[in-house]
């Protein structure tokens, strides 16, 4: 049974949406739906896979990948060149790229 979706809470919904609206098509996802309270993506072109939903965090707190909860998101791409291109895209936008 495939995983249906993953939910991610973010501090600034509009800022996260602007970032992921640009990023997700680069890794093969398309917008699923968006409201003032959430936005989401699905695998593009009707491909099977897990959907990704973003919600506003209702409580403030510092994120740490070492605490319980979501540690990170990883996306599959076809080539090392794609990895390098996405790394460049993310670092140009100030993303914290771990590896």
| Residue 91 to residue 99: CA distance in whole angstroms | 12
pTM of the model: 0.84
| pLDDT the model gives residue 33 | 95
Rounded Cα–Cα distance for residues 28 and 37 (Å) = 24
Q: Give the pLDDT mean for 91-99.
A: 87
Cβ neighbours of 41 (radius 10 Å)? 24
Kindly give, in sequence order, each residue whose CB lies less than 8 Å from that of residue 3, ignoring residues fewer than 6 positions away. Answer: 50
Read off the pLDDT of residues 32-70 as tens digits, 9 standing for 90 and up.
999 999 999 999 999 999 999 999 998 888 877 787 778
Distance of alpha carbon 16 from alpha carbon 78, whole angstroms: 25
């Amino acid at each position: 049974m495939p995983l249906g979706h993953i939910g991610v809470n973010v501090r600034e919904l509009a800022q996260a949406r602007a970032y992921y609206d640009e990023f997700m098509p680069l890794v093969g996802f398309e917008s699923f739906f968006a409201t003032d309270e959430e936005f989401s993506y699905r695998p593009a072109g009707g491909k099977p896979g897990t959907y990704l939903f973003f919600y506003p965090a209702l409580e403030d707190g510092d994120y740490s990948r070492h605490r319980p909860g979501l540690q990170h998101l990883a996306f599959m791409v076809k080539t090392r060149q794609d990895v390098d291109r996405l790394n460049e895209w993310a670092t140009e936008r100030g993303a914290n790229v771990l590896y």
